[in-house]
Amino acid sequence: MDFVVATNNSYKFKELKAIFRDYSGQDSSQQGLNRQGYNSQGRTLHMPAEYGITFSYEEKGETFFENAFGKADALYSLLKESGIEHPVIADDSGLVVPSLNGEPGIMSARYGRMEKGEELSDREKIDYLLSRLNETLNKSGSEQKKRSAYFVCSMVVILGTDRFFAVQETFHGEIALKPAGEGGFGYDPVFFIPSLKKTIAQLSDDNKNRISHRALAGRRILTLLDSLKTV
């Protein structure tokens, strides 16, 4: 079955394809060991452009779920208008830093834009995040726990009119003192995993796609689809 992903972000699409590819229907400790799971399930992911669809969506929701569902619903409607009735997958993800009252949160992709007056690059958003956090900690103390952070991924799959599933997962870590690593995208270079003593950007793609918030949400969606037997 063909699924269309409600994104123009090639990095996000690549990650989701890898998560689908590596899914085996086994428990999480076995993920990535059966690379045939993706093909044997017969599920293929596509971007909107593959169907000649120009897709854009202005996120106006107040929660990750509202934004994820909004994107999925908007693309599903566009496809249906074009006579294409494929299921749609969308996610809204972001970084939450409790010491910053939840920033960047649902504004993760647009963080700092209002203050700076322009769209920031990934590195500029990281620099802005570090400056905000350091300023806050300088005022309130620098205990390590105040650098705690977590990623959120809310993922929605629309199978048909009034038929959808939604899941939400989190992945906890800390904000590093400075960026490290060349992999991943977004805030990955500054998201430190204490148990591994590495940032996400220092992990291989395979390792990231076993443990990340998007991987956790994606596998839950796939488990739900497996339970339906027909998709």
Q: Which residues are catalytic?
A: 92
Long-range contacts for 221-229 (Cβ within 8 Å, ≥24 apart)? 221/89, 221/155, 221/157, 221/165, 221/167, 222/19, 222/20, 222/23, 222/25, 222/41, 222/43, 223/25, 224/157, 224/165, 224/167, 225/43, 225/157, 226/25, 226/41
- Angle at CA 106, nearest 5°, toward 7 and 221? 55
* H helix intervals, the chain: 10-22, 37-40, 64-81, 113-116, 122-140, 205-211, 213-228
